[in-house]
Structure 1
Amino acid sequence: MKAITIIQPWATLIALNEKKLETRSWPTKYRGPLAIHAGKKIDKEACEEPDIKATLARHGYTADSLPTGGVVAITELYECWSIGTDYQSGMPLLYNGKDGGSRIVGLKEDKFGYYSPGRYAWELADVMQLPEPIPAKGQQGLWNWEGVQP
């Protein structure tokens, strides 16, 4: 199964099904099952952002209790969107070249990613948080995870 390493708190926000778009500087053509691996790094400053802190707290997490160094969720990588700006609202705009589809990023979701024009948003669906993280060593980019799969 393909996997991606994501630093905290974003890996947990995905596992909690609170973050449905993972922003990246690079696109991918891959679609299918994806393991979400929580890297060893925790961005403590991000954990103090009001929207992130409140969302984590609602699920019983703090910056000091986030899991690291393991797969925390399995999801489906559904789509890869290009990021632009909706000039009427000023909100990030997602668009794809396949069917001309586009949509504005929601108000909560825009706090959970880096939506600069020219970047990409990977749309995640059917997230399943694992009961316990499965220890694994992360890697950069998409990588193959051979671990125990639910």
Structure 2
Amino acid sequence: MTRLPALTVWQPWASLIAVGVKPYEFRGWAAPRAYRGRRIAIHAGARPVRKGEIADLIMRLRGPEPWLTCLKPEALAFLERAYSNPASLPLSAIVATAVLGEPRRDAELLCEFGSPANDSARDEHRNWAWPVSDIEEMQPPIPAKGAQGFWEWRA
């Protein structure tokens, strides 16, 4: 039996990671050192999909500052499909595994998405960006109960 640390992420963000268009997960704290460089499971939480959140992401991706989403441009087509059928996004399931990278302050990576240079003196108050790479999407998603923070998933 394989055991992986798992992280619960709400939809549509969990599926955006799974399809490779959300290269960072954002949290208010740096990822624990013990999990950096390791494969983790990405779990879609049980919280129902909020269509308004999908609409907001679509609007921001179409707007003048799409870099604020920290999503790849290909996310727009995915989100438009999800908006028309939110029930297509799995809930309470492992949707992917990924390798967790070294966390960065979110302001450090905005230029990566086309932002003007950061000139904030308040970077210490920003969120942490956790890089996720080497994504392996689960098809079909694997039903699983989640938890807050990291928890152990037994595959």
Please give the TM-score of this superposition, normalised by the length of structure 1: 0.73
**How many correspondences in the alignment?**
125
- Which of these residues, 43, 46, 62, is aligned with residue 85 of structure 2? 62
Correspondence for 1:17: 20
Per-residue CA deviations over 1:96-142 (Å, capped at 9, x if unaligned) read xxxxxxx724149xxxxxx9952100000100111111111110001
- Which of these residues, 97, 104, 109, is aligned with residue 81 of structure 1? 104
Identity fraction in percent: 36
CA RMSD, 1 decimal: 2.6
Conserved in 2, the CA contact under 8 Å of 1:7 and 1:43? no
Q: Which runs of 5+ in 2 are unaligned?
A: 62-74, 116-122
Q: Which runs of 5+ in 1 are unaligned?
A: 85-92, 95-102, 109-114
Conserved in 2, the CA contact under 8 Å of 1:3 and 1:37? yes
Question: Closer, same or farther in 2 for the Cα pair 1:26/1:58, shift >3 Å?
Answer: same
Structure 2 CA distance for aligned equivalents of residues 60 and 127 of structure 1: 23
Structure 2 CA distance for aligned equivalents of residues 126 and 25 of structure 1: 23
Q: Which amino acid counterpart does residue 131 of structure 2 have in structure 1?
A: E
* Alignment pair present for 1:121 and 2:144: no
Correspondence for 1:43: 50
Higher strand share: 1
**Which one is further off, 45-54 or 71-80?**
45-54
Runs (4 or more) in structure 1 with deviation over 4 Å come to 58-61
Q: Which amino acid counterpart does residue 16 of structure 1 have in structure 2?
A: V
Shift in Å at residue 59 of structure 1? 8.2
Conserved in 2, the CA contact under 8 Å of 1:47 and 1:62? no
Please give the TM-score of this superposition, normalised by the length of structure 2: 0.70
Higher helix share: 2
Correspondence for 1:144: 152
